[in-house]
Chain A
Amino acid sequence: KNQVEQSPQSLIILEGKNCTLQCNYTVSPFSNLRWYKQDTGRGPVSLTIMTFSENTKSNGRYTATLDADTKQSSLHITASQLSDSASYICVVSALNNNDMRFGAGTRLTVKP
């Protein structure tokens, strides 16, 4: 079982709508959690990073939240645009080694 589980696997929304993507993890001890955006045919690009003491982080229309007690994170996208169509990947790092665990991603499609 993957130590980082993302849901849903895929999501279709209309342009202008909001959406929330979920990430649950079991990686321990926790160091930090990142959200990456990966456009089709491109490499992932970092959106946000949160450490244990941070429970929210924004990057424009992207807002990530973290609940380290329940080991859950979410990525909220506000007023979606066609360019938000991409895969969103949650990555969790462990504190005591160099391990990074990648979720399988959520494929978001924004339709006009």
Chain B
Amino acid sequence: DAGITQSPRHKVTETGTPVTLRCHQTENHRYMYWYRQDPGHGLRLIHYSYGVKDTDKGEVSDGYSVSRSKTEDFLLTLESATSSQTSVYFCAISESRRGGQETQYFGPGTRLLVL
């Protein structure tokens, strides 16, 4: 998984509870991304970062916030978890902007269940 770790790998939480997922990379890549993967849907971008403290929204950003205080760490926070946020969350990294010919490398995923 290209020097990418995600924690926790599995989490069960209750509706209304705040949740933070962590992505850590050892590749020193500039770009980091958070995706969610749901059955019947392709991976969908939540937020991404193009540098320390530089972040932007993806296509499904409502209900999520992110922070990047160090190159190697990208945090995804669900301020008040809802059942619709039950999903598998993937972190990805790349050296240059997404959509270019540079490969995105994905972490192992975090399986989140919101009851």
Contacts and interface: CB of A to CB of B under 8 A. Distances in A.
Interface of A: 2, 4, 31-32, 41-46, 49, 51, 89, 91, 93-94, 97-105
Interface in B71-113: 90, 92, 97-101, 103-109
B107 A43 contact: yes
Contacts of A32: 99-101
Contact of A100 (B4, B98, B109): B98
Interface in B1-43: 1, 4, 40-43
25 contacts: A2-B41, A32-B101, A41-B108, A42-B1, A42-B109, A43-B1, A43-B90, A43-B92, A43-B106, A44-B106, A46-B103, A46-B104, A49-B101, A49-B103, A51-B101, A89-B43, A91-B42, A98-B98, A98-B99, A99-B99, A100-B99, A101-B42, A102-B43, A102-B44, A104-B40
Nearest to B45: A100
A110 B80 CA distance: 41
B41 A104 contact: yes
Interface residues of B, number: 22
Contacts, number: 56
Smallest CB-CB A-B distances: 6 pairs? A102-B42, A43-B106, A93-B99, A102-B43, A98-B99, A46-B103
Contacts of B41: 2, 104
Contacts of A4: 42
Contact of A94 (B99, B106, B109): B99
Nearest to A42: B108
B77 to A, nearest CB: 21
Contacts of B99: 31-32, 93-94, 97-100
